[in-house]
Chains A and B, each alone.
Chain A
């Protein structure tokens, strides 16, 4: 049982480049989330998807887009990367309100 799988683990982009971060879960969870983690800022929600076919903005959505491709997969796209998007990105999925989230191992992104 792999849980939540994120790819890639590391990425360096030049300013203005685009990329997609992939996330897949094999636990049949309905809800999935994308967070960014920055020193001193904790975890900030970028986008989430309560169920297949729906997506909603979180606290810091600017500069990002998401796609809930199916129940398993939830991708995060940076259309034109900026240095301010240098961060560690975590994907998570949720079984239900009482169970908490299961997190992926993260993507460490550097934009130069």
Chain B
């Protein structure tokens, strides 16, 4: 079954500390993976996606196919990083085409304390 697991509901760190938000997935094919961020009472925004291998707001994420993980990392957390973070998986077929809807994890609330 296709599944995205974010094991931590809440992660609390101090400003300047490193942060890692965990994401594990279950999918037999080669998925495309995303991280979304939702600041308080706002819409979900795409933070980054695996295929573009970009760094947004200092965040990076590496796909580890062996561990089926796509953890989100930032070396020095800022107070403005406090938000809800969702990991999502797009199931892809052998030809790279979509095989269904985005599958979201339940989210991790990141709290960065001063």
Contact = CB atoms under 8 A, between A and B. Distances in A.
Q: Do A and B bind each other?
A: yes
Interface of A: 33, 40-43, 45, 48, 58, 90, 92, 94, 96-106
A108 to B, nearest CB: 8
29 contacts: A33-B101, A40-B106, A41-B106, A42-B86, A42-B104, A42-B105, A42-B106, A42-B107, A43-B44, A43-B86, A45-B101, A90-B43, A97-B32, A97-B90, A97-B96, A97-B97, A98-B49, A98-B51, A98-B90, A99-B49, A100-B90, A100-B102, A101-B44, A101-B46, A101-B102, A102-B46, A103-B44, A103-B45, A105-B42
Contacts of A42: 86, 104-107
A82 to B, nearest CB: 23
Contacts of A101: 44, 46, 102
Contacts of B32: 97-98
Contacts of B46: 100-102
Contacts of A40: 9, 106
Given A42-B106, A43-B86, A45-B101, A104 B34 contact: no
